[in-house]
Amino acid sequence: MMNNINFNVFNKVENLVENLVKEVSYILENALLEKNCASFLVSGGNTPKLFFQELSKVKIDWSRVKIGLVDERWIESSNKDSNAYLVNQFLLQNEAKNAEFIPLFIKDKDCFSSDDICSDIYKKAFFQSDILILGMGNDGHTASLFPKSIKLKEAENLNTTKFCISIDPVTASYKRMSLTLKSILESKNIFLLLQGEEKLKIYDEALKSEDKYPISKVLFNAQQIKVYYGHE
């Protein structure tokens, strides 16, 4: 195991969620003690749903928390396939309903001509975010950094000036807007959520080489990353 990775195993998803909620809440609370607002970037998918629901019940000053997305399908937030829809339905509820949510989609704009606009908005709100939560696909993708994407090398370039980059995933539906690898790595606290034996196998493969999968780039280059793995 690499020294920059803190790997945590939970027998039940409920235990994973309980511990993650405690840790994220603690980080947010301390950030709010130090500055006017805290910033929090999240991913979509099925794994975060229970986490979102439980975190939304925590009593902190959510009105001073900015929530954004690690990536987004280039579709409206009313579409159930969007990550914004997921966040609205499961996280921006209960105590967290007053948080400021900043979407990663611009209506009536073309995805591939919106890199600079999205980068300007997100860099202002989420540069060196307090918390960033990643997931991982069975193809080793994370955020919307998919293995066969034409712009993957550009997205993984650590010298890029882009905070966000448009992506055609090729192997998945919808055009996407994603954080670049560089902007992901700039976050202060990075978490990777994994669930099930299949994901664990991909994760183990990702650790064999920095060039194996997009998630490998994160694992090899992050100063520190906490992995939360839950058995199904």
Residues of the chain scoring pLDDT < 50 = none
Amino acid identity at 178 = S
- pLDDT, tens digit, for every residue of 80-119? 999 999 999 999 999 999 999 999 999 999 999 999 999 9
- Fold classification of 5-230 is Rossmann fold (3.40.50)
Q: What is the pLDDT of residue 127?
A: 97
Query: What are the sequence ranges of the domains in the chain?
Result: 5-230
Q: What is the pLDDT of residue 46?
A: 80
Kindly report whether the global pTM for this prediction surpasses the value 0.75: yes
Q: What is the pLDDT of residue 47?
A: 78
Residue 116: count of CB within 10 angstroms of its CB: 12
Q: What is the pLDDT of residue 2?
A: 84
